[in-house]
Structure 1
């Protein structure tokens, strides 16, 4: 039997209703009803499927945008090649201060041992730094972090001379300011710092910011995008014995990887970055360890009025009470336990001494504080991006902002509630570049 005969067969067709069956006249064709039911089911299924797909899409966008706010992407595909080619060690030895205590030094790739606690000298009025430095050296500090731009290196030099402590026992750091990145300006800048500090060498010299200023004070795009000429001149300073270690400050992972891609004779041994409870930068902490570079935390208690708020964090206060130490000691201990050098700044002798007395946190307390610090959107308080026109973040700002707003829009379409926390995070993290006219 052919297909056409099957379709024409009475047994397979709907029958006309008999006049004696009045109800049957209202019946529809069974095949039409079946198709209608099937179509309705399919439509319902597709509708449910689309809603579910939108939910999945939204969650993906939402989680992706949140992750980008706290993550700093690196060129992971090149990581192993870079490590192999540069011969970088993933582990760094430490000099322990005693059983169960935190290390007093980290060992750099160069073999030099850098003290894990330093006195920060940024933002101190004339006359204050000398007294703070003397107080620090008296209680045991052997690491002073300074910079040309701080304008107080002469006071630091006076304090070191008056302390009577041998120069070889003190770790001195200074930094190259933005207007001295031109190769011909590097050595004069170092010589000036050496003269003010009263020493003939620096233990560590760093590029202060990954931005170069030209003679007119504006951004020198060529040197900003290619720091290799500056670095080559710094390597000469190492060869001359004026500097023993080189480092960088405020470089994000992208710029760090760019620097490591050059044929360096002297590789950076230290990275200095704004690290605090508010901006823990776990990816940078991991990246520095993986690449054999010691990470330093400036403003470890928070900056620009955040210190008091840091010391009031519930987890910090709870651990402080459990261990019988101050909140500041909890946070500074946490930094060192993470493997970073802490650079707390204070001009008060009592506070200087307090910051120096750190202790190992119990593992449970350390992990609790680490979870708390990494559970909120990062808040980087020192960000000159709007003023200098250089992006110091590891992420595409416009992309993050668009992803976050797209996620909110989709959430609203689904009649759900869009949390405003992420919009707040964009603003408080100073990621949004609206003020610079870039968005």
Structure 2
């Protein structure tokens, strides 16, 4: 059986099973345009971006210079954390379209639950949080729904939402989120979140599908090797004559999860498209990495923002100020 080339969202639109992640973190955005052009030439049709990455201009240039018709490309953007106030949502989308020089609205526009800042506090390098808005993300979602109703966005979704926050959002939402993009890899398979999402027809999408390296201020467990460096995964990939990245990505897509690995190297870009179906034994061996290692979350903004967005017991933030205030 062939691997799926795309997944169908709950609104009927299709998202490719493998996309190009464009978050470059501490490395800068100098190679993003060429990476987008090359990826599209190689057959990628999903480009995953965000206003916060600071590279939507480069993404737009890469799309235009690729020569690939815009209607063939699934483009994702994310609402900036500084624009979650309802009055700012439409302005943020307009800015994204302007920066990317797109004459076609993004297919998917996501609200990110990392943090909601209003400015950067002076002196300590920590973000200043709008605590009321952080708790009232349903208001942001209402403004997102309005984008769909005006036709400016085809699909709307979430990023980094846990089960508790999704339950609360669904209690008032008119439009069920099409996707929720979360950290997901063999050390963090998010099985409970996956089961919950499927119950409501929400597609989980994996960022950091190889166990990535987030930007320094939100990076956790820097001393733990990534799952693609796991001896069991290495042995499995070697026996199959595949790379560890191909094997990990194939595992995710076989689970029904689209992935957006990032790369600027042609060799890796090609490999990441060449996925394959794992036999039951090899699939289970990767599934078992969780029990062998234990869950590892490489993205953890809590030391930076002062509260845990992944708390399943309390809808954070519960306080009205940061611990260091």
Asked if TM exceeds 0.5, the reply is yes
Q: Distance in 2 between matches of 1:309 and 1:299?
A: 10
Instruction: Quote the residue 1:279 is aligned against.
Output: 188
Give the RMSD, CA atoms, in angstroms.
2.0
**1:291-339 deviations in Å (ceiling 9; x for gaps):** 2111111111112268974333122122212322111100000011111
- If you compute each CA radius of gyration, which structure gives the higher value, 1 or 2? 1
**1:168-196 deviations in Å (ceiling 9; x for gaps):** 10000000111101111111110011112
Alpha carbons of structure 1 residues 212 and 125: separation in structure 2 relative to 1, 3 Å: closer
**2:16, 2:45 within 8 Å by CA — same for their partners in 1?**
yes
TM-score by length of 1: 0.65
Alignment partner for residue 174 of structure 2, among 265, 269, 277?
Answer: 265
CA offset at residue 372 of structure 1?
1.8
Structure 1: give runs of 5+ residues left out of the alignment.
1-99, 398-435
Instruction: Quote the residue 1:416 is aligned against.
Output: none
Instruction: Quote the residue 2:111 is aligned against.
Output: 207
TM-score by length of 2: 0.87
**2:45, 2:73 within 8 Å by CA — same for their partners in 1?**
yes
Instruction: Quote the residue 1:122 is aligned against.
Output: 23
Alignment partner for residue 232 of structure 1, among 119, 133, 142?
Answer: 142
Correspondence list, 1:64-103, <5 A: 100-103=1-4
Structure 2: give runs of 5+ residues left out of the alignment.
121-126, 214-221, 315-321
* Secondary structure of 1:343 counterpart: coil
**1:206-265 deviations in Å (ceiling 9; x for gaps):** 012253223675211221111121111111111111111111111111001110011x22
Structure 2 residue 58 is matched with structure 1 residue 155: yes
Structure 2 residue 291 is matched with structure 1 residue 382: no
Alpha carbons of structure 1 residues 265 and 395: separation in structure 2 relative to 1, 3 Å: closer
CA offset at residue 390 of structure 1?
2.8
**2:176, 2:202 within 8 Å by CA — same for their partners in 1?**
no
Q: Quick check: which one's helix share is greater? A: 1
**1:8-43 deviations in Å (ceiling 9; x for gaps):** xxxxxxxxxxxxxxxxxxxxxxxxxxxxxxxxxxxx
Instruction: Quote the residue 2:6 is aligned against.
Output: 105
Q: Distance in 2 between matches of 1:269 and 1:354?
A: 28
Alpha carbons of structure 1 residues 185 and 205: separation in structure 2 relative to 1, 3 Å: same
Q: Distance in 1 between matches of 2:309 and 2:54?
A: 24
Instruction: Quote the residue 2:201 is aligned against.
Output: 292
**2:205, 2:259 within 8 Å by CA — same for their partners in 1?**
yes
* Secondary structure of 2:259 counterpart: strand
Which structure ranks higher in relative contact order (CA pairs < 8 Å, sequence separation ≥ 6)?
A: 2
Instruction: Quote the residue 2:75 is aligned against.
Output: 172
CA offset at residue 287 of structure 1?
1.5
**2:11, 2:178 within 8 Å by CA — same for their partners in 1?**
yes
* Secondary structure of 2:7 counterpart: strand
Name the count of aligned residue pairs.
300
Q: Distance in 2 between matches of 1:225 and 1:341?
A: 29
**1:280, 1:374 within 8 Å by CA — same for their partners in 2?**
no
Structure 2 residue 277 is matched with structure 1 residue 360: yes
**1:59-86 deviations in Å (ceiling 9; x for gaps):** xxxxxxxxxxxxxxxxxxxxxxxxxxxx
**1:279, 1:380 within 8 Å by CA — same for their partners in 2?**
yes
Structure 2 residue 258 is matched with structure 1 residue 319: no
**2:246, 2:275 within 8 Å by CA — same for their partners in 1?**
yes
Structure 2 residue 251 is matched with structure 1 residue 334: yes
Structure 2 residue 309 is matched with structure 1 residue 392: yes
